[in-house]
């Protein structure tokens, strides 16, 4: 009986060891993985759905270049197409193909960054998801529409107006800002850890 008990105890220790090894390795647990999936899939699905739906509504409701006031002249819907990048950036005749290729490359870079981001860094995961969702929305337009990306959100006062944009552009902008914040926070944490390590090191 003693040997059996001893064997059972050692077997239990062996079964528990992988869990302990996983925890000590810093790999994400189930909670982190679930949060990562939510922060990845939900923004992408919601933003893509809104972007595609609003662009379809604009194309079916308004004439090209038609302006429709929403909040007076400050905010209006102005249906237009853009072969270039976000907020009306255009480099000429081949803008559509150029920015399509550039967007695909950017998605690849985001994929690499996403793989290297720990699940515990939820701000960066969300930021990458937002930028990716916006990029995918505009890529879809560039592929299916010879005229380029559909833009319709028009803000300004009188002749001083912001470049016309869409929901995908907004997602890219918000995601890029959050991404910069996440890098800044990471740098601050590293500086604090380095300072703490320097203080703890005996002279």
Q: Which of 51, 141, 154, 169 is catalytic?
A: 169
Active site (annotated) includes residue 121? no
Active site (annotated) includes residue 151? yes
Residue 132 exposed, middle or buried by CB count within 10 Å (0-12, 13-18, 19+): buried
Q: Which of 51, 141, 151, 154 is catalytic?
A: 151
By annotation, the residues acting in catalysis are: 151, 169
């Amino acid at each position: 009986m003693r040997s059996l008990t001893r064997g059972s105890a050692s077997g239990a220790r062996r079964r528990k060891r992988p869990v302990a090894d996983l925890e000590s390795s810093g790999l994400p647990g189930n909670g982190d993985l679930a949060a990562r999936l939510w922060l990845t899939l939900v923004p992408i699905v919601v933003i893509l759905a809104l972007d595609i739906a609003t662009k379809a509504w604009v194309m079916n409701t308004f004439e090209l270049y038609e302006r429709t006031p929403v909040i007076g002249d400050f905010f209006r819907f102005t249906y237009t197409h853009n072969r270039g990048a976000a907020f009306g950036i255009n480099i000429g005749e081949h803008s559509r193909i150029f920015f399509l290729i550039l967007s695909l490359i950017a998605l690849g870079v985001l994929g690499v960054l996403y793989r290297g981001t720990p699940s515990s860094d939820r701000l960066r995961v969300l930021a990458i998801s937002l930028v990716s969702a916006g990029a995918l929305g505009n890529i879809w337009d560039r592929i299916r529409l010879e005229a380029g990306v559909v833009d319709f959100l028009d803000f300004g006062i009188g002749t001083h107006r912001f470049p016309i944009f869409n929901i995908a552009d907004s997602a890219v902008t918000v995601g890029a800002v959050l991404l910069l914040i996440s890098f800044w926070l990471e740098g601050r944490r590293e500086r604090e850890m380095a300072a703490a390590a320097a203080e703890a090191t005996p002279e």
